[in-house]
Chain A
Amino acid sequence: MATSPLSVKRFRIIFGFSWLIIIIDHIFLLRWFGLSWQTAIIDSAINDVLLILACMLVIMMLHYYLPQKEKYFHLFTWCILITVIVILVTKVILKNIFANDDEYIIFFNRSIWIRSSFDFLLLGCIILISVIWYNWQEQNEQEVRKQDAEKLSKEAELFKLRQQLQPHFLFNSLNSINALIGSRPEEARKMVQQLSDFLRGTIKKEEHQWVTLKEELQYLQLYLDIEKVRFGHRLSTVIGYDAALDELKLPALLLQPVMENAIKFGLYDTVDEIEISLKALKEENNLVITVTNPFDPETSTPRQGTGFGLQSVQRRLYLLFARNDLVSTEAKENIFTTTIKIPQA
């Protein structure tokens, strides 16, 4: 919300000072027309105080309701209306105070057009200043919002790129290929092919795209084959699911980060050979995927296991289904289980 100019100290000083000048000027003008000091001061005090209140009212009103550009004529109407009210109230009060002073009442009636014009012009000025002020503030805010949004989207994009590239995985795979070229060139070729297919899959698929379970598992197999070459006999995987589930749908590239998390967690938390398993089944109207990996309960807290990969999976599912209960994890003895539910349309 924009701040009112009245809350800015510099504006208040200028506002107050200008009014002091106007009031003094008003008094001297009335003196010049031959009114007594007392009458001049009372007249100017009543008239100007009402006008000040009207000005503040206008500033406040514009704070909460700034008309659209095409409705600026509303402001003109307001200006006339408020002027009329100010003049009428001034008239009632002054005529009551000076009820016995015929000369003054004649003077007041003769000056009413000048007073109205002056009040109208002054209110107009205040409205103009307020409109410019609030528009400027709004523009500033919009600018800040725009910059924030741009920054956020840039960060997200960078993160996505980095995720896609998976530098650690990529460079280690290249290192393995480098080793294979000398000793087993046929296998090196095969791995280059797998790595290319895997990377192409990452680039080709959009985050919002849906794929069948069959496609996703084929893609996952590429990843697992590469990891198996890297880690040799230490890593084995079991994928269990019924071919009847082939056509169930899930968001593209959802399972790879889950598997990656399980492999990292399993491989780096024990020195033994490990087995990672993935099971898919249909429960009610959900595709339920369970991934397990071993871990060492003595040295790692399960919290560490729900690493960054799972957070992004949870986030994606939340954005798609507005549900936070689709990813769950469980640590039992030395087995860590990740369960993912994907509601089917």
Chain B
Amino acid sequence: MSSKVIIIDDEPLARSIVIEYIQNFPDLVVSQVCSNGYEGVKAIQQYKPDLIILDIQMPKINGFEMLELIENPPAVIFATAFDEYAIKAFEAHAIDYLLKPFNQDRFEKAIKKWREQKNSSAVEKQTKQLLDDVALTAPQNQRIVIKDGSKIKIIPIQDVFYLEAADDFVKVFTKEGYFLKNKTMSHFEQVLDPSQFVRSHRSYIVNLQQITRIDPYEKDNHVAILRSGAKVPVSRTGYPKLKSILGL
């Protein structure tokens, strides 16, 4: 049985060399080649590939951000020319990666490794941890990338009003309404700059720049009023945190 492969790289020659190498594997079929993450997301949804060969530095959204947008991402072989942070993260999570330029032998090794690990849940977990890890580094900690239907939205973090927990998702509120991101509150608490974003409540993280005032609300509780008029609950433990950072 043959396996479907998608190649995602913004440089045409980098794509063509991978296609050339793949021709030596009769059971691998290239379903599509993509030149950026947007095309990549679409193609992955459409073809449900078994493997993607993914470049890191790409226009608009990088390889990691693209993977974040995909539910149940396929197996990935990362390829990069030079990206200190990414390489550090690969090594830290024992994830195989190709350093450009790579030769046929090295490529075959990566394919062999992928075949051995196919259907292993450990790899999936490693990749997830890798994505959590790189989300902490620039430029990814400066923006939130979200899939909104068929569109992809890049939200600079200073445009975020507040975040609200919603089951397995987090609602990201901006001036255009809210967008759903499949991450946890504690993930955002880690990624966002603590001097700008504070977890005011178990289910809320608020952008301090947006707060106009904090009013009492029922007994023991408070509510933060934002510039947009939105009201964000502040819990008993959240109130002192907000107060100390705002210097009240």
A interface, CB within 8 angstroms of B: 167-168, 170-172, 174-180, 182-183, 229-232, 234, 267-271, 296, 298-301, 304
User: Is A268 touching B58 in the complex (CB atoms < 8 A)?
Assistant: yes
Q: How many A-B residue pairs have CB under 8 A?
A: 78
Question: Are A299 and B60 in contact (CB-based, < 8 A)?
Answer: yes
Partner pick for A229 among B13, B103, B156, CB 8 A cutoff: B13
> A-facing mask of B28-56, CB < 8 A → 1, else 0?
00000001101000000000000000000
Which chain B residues (115-151) contact chain A, with CB distance < 8 Å? 139, 143
Q: Which 10 A-B pairs have the closest CB atoms?
A: A179-B17, A171-B81, A179-B13, A175-B100, A175-B101, A176-B13, A178-B101, A167-B82, A232-B12, A299-B154
Q: Does B108 contact A (CB under 8 A)?
A: no
B60 touches A271 (CB 8 A): yes
Show 20 A/B contacts (Cβ-Cβ < 8 Å), sorted by A: A167-B82, A170-B82, A172-B14, A172-B81, A172-B82, A174-B100, A175-B11, A175-B17, A175-B81, A175-B101, A176-B11, A230-B13, A231-B10, A232-B11, A234-B10, A268-B59, A271-B35, A271-B36, A298-B154, A299-B143
Q: Is the CB of A174 within 8 A of B60?
A: no
Q: Known pairs A234-B10, A271-B38; list 13 more (Cβ under 8 Å).
A: A168-B57, A168-B83, A171-B81, A171-B82, A171-B100, A172-B100, A176-B14, A180-B13, A182-B17, A230-B11, A231-B10, A232-B13, A271-B35
- A299–B155 CA distance with the chains assembled, in angstroms: 7
- The interface residues of chain A lying within 8 Å CB-to-CB of B20 are 179, 182-183
Q: Which one of B35, B38, B60, B100 contacts A268 once the chains associate, using CB atoms below 8 Å?
A: B60
What's the minimum C-beta distance from B167 to chain A, rounded to whole angstroms? Answer: 28
Q: State A230–B11 Cα separation when bound (angstroms).
A: 6
Interface SS majority for chain A: helix
Residues of the B chain whose Cβ atoms lie less than 8 Å from the Cβ of A176: 11, 13-14
Q: Would you give the shortest CB distance from B158 to chain A, in whole angstroms?
A: 8
Closest Cβ of chain B to A200, distance in Å, is: 21
The CA-CA distance from A146 to B11 in the complex, in Å, is 47
CA gap between A298 and B152 in the complex, in Å = 13
State the CA gap A170–B101 with chains docked (Å): 10
Q: Does B237 contact A (CB under 8 A)?
A: no
CB nearest neighbor in B for A182: B20
The CB with the most chain B CB atoms within 10 A, among A172, A232, A296, is that of: A172
Provide the bound-state CA to CA distance between A100 and B237, in Å: 85
Which residues of chain B (13-33) have a CB below 8 Å from chain A? Answer: 13-14, 16-17, 20
Contacts known (A168-B82, A178-B17, A182-B20); A270 close to B60, Cβ less than 8 A: yes
Shortest distance from the beta carbon of A229 to any chain B beta carbon, whole Å: 7
Q: Name the residue in A177, A179, A229, A300 with the highest tally of chain B Cβ atoms < 10 Å from its Cβ.
A: A179
- Scoring A174, A180, A268 by chain B CB atoms within 10 A of each residue's CB, the highest score goes to A268
Q: Indicate whether A183 sits within 8 Å of B16 (C-beta atoms), given known contacts A268-B58, A269-B60, A299-B143.
A: yes
C-alpha spacing A267/B12, complex, angstroms: 14
Which chain B residues lie closer than 8 Å to A168 at the CB level? 57, 81-83
Do A271 and B100 touch (CB < 8 A)? no
Q: Which of B54-78 contact A (CB under 8 A)?
A: 57-60
Instruction: Give chain A residues whose Cβ lies under 8 Å from the Cβ of B139.
Output: 304
- A175, B154: Cβ atoms under 8 Å? no
Closest to A172 in B: B81
Whether A267 pairs with B16 at a CB distance below 8 angstroms is: no
8 Å CB interface, B162-199 against A: none
Q: Is A269's CB under 8 angstroms from B11's CB? A: no
Complex CA distance for A167 and B83, rounded to whole angstroms? 9
B residues near A232, Cβ cutoff 8 Å: 11-13
Which A residue sits closest to B15, measured CB to CB? A179
Nearest-neighbor residue (CB-CB) of B62 within chain A: A268
Smallest Cβ distance from A188 to chain B, in angstroms? 10
List chain A residues, Cβ under 8 A from B36: 271
A299 near B156 (CB under 8 angstroms)?
yes
Residues of B contacting A229 with CB < 8 Å? Answer: 13
